[in-house]
Structure 1
């Protein structure tokens, strides 16, 4: 079950985050919308309603979740650049994924949204200086500070993590 939940492992912040690592993460973010669309576009309605694991989200919910989550992340980057270590507003992702739109809306809406958000995000991230990458925001759960550099890695991991959920389901199911 743990392998189904974390197919690429849990995100671990590297001790040192290099410029090369940042660029690799940004490239992962840049490529995610197209990779995800190529993976899910051929799926049937029934396949989109399949949970990626027992008691997990459906493929449809996962696509909408990635779009919603990365939209939040984009906003968090902007807050950290315009405020001094802001306390971010968390959202209840499980509840969001159970809302009507996440359960029933066409995935194309979120695929298009993800393309737009990532285009803006990647452009923004590539313009950040090394000093800017050290700016922080605080998550109120656990009062944890996160640098923008760490958050780039976290969201590169997040997109890859959910992509792997869907890819593993597709492979296991022989789709």
Structure 2
């Protein structure tokens, strides 16, 4: 069995530099292609395989990324348009068990791609002041926009690594 965190656990970097942000924004822009490439040519049976023992099926990972990044997009926009908004947390496991997760992964791949085009456009327009704006997360406390960017750049790469690690293990 492979590591639950194939690229390591997310940690908030101290002293975030412009180059860090630029790299994370690039990663966010590239995430839809990385995800599409990771699941390309997988069969229904392969997509029904958990990425690790006790983990989600690969199809659930794809749907989860769309769900999660809907929240990312909303959180960034709230953070940019409201004064220190308190955002809503959500139960990702409960979301993963809703019937829309039975749809073909292409639906979530398209949604993920469209979200990231819009998110990428917004992120590329941010200035220093925007990056320091904050949201309040009910579990994580105060989070800056630049920390959100880092989080979701990591999150996309994290789940693509789950898929690719399983593919490599299985020889797919």
Q: Distance in 2 between matches of 1:64 and 1:25?
A: 22
The equivalent position to 1:149 in structure 2, one of 122, 146, 152, is: 146
Structure 1 match to 2:55: 56
Q: How does 1:21-170 map to 2 (within 5 A)?
A: 21-102=20-101, 104-142=102-140, 144-170=141-167
- Any runs of at least 4 consecutive aligned residues in structure 1 with deviations exceeding 3 A, and if so which? none
Q: Distance in 1 between matches of 2:59 and 2:109?
A: 11
The Cα of 1:4 is off from its aligned counterpart by 2.3
SS in 2 for 1:131: helix
Give me the TM-score of the superposition, normalised by structure 2.
0.97
The Cα of 1:165 is off from its aligned counterpart by 0.5
The Cα of 1:41 is off from its aligned counterpart by 2.3
Mark the runs of 5 or more structure 1 residues left unpaired by the alignment.
none
The Cα of 1:39 is off from its aligned counterpart by 1.5
The Cα of 1:171 is off from its aligned counterpart by 0.4
**1:99-141 deviations in whole A, cap 9, x for unaligned?**
1221x21000000001100000000000011111000001112
Q: Distance in 2 between matches of 1:39 and 1:162?
A: 10
Mark the runs of 5 or more structure 2 residues left unpaired by the alignment.
none
Give me the TM-score of the superposition, normalised by structure 1.
0.96
RMSD, matched Cα: 1.0
Q: Distance in 1 between matches of 2:56 and 2:73?
A: 23
Structure 1 residue 174 corresponds to structure 2 residue 171: yes
SS in 1 for 2:143: strand
Aligned length: 172
Q: Distance in 2 between matches of 1:39 and 1:6?
A: 17
Q: Distance in 2 between matches of 1:65 and 1:153?
A: 18
SS in 2 for 1:90: coil
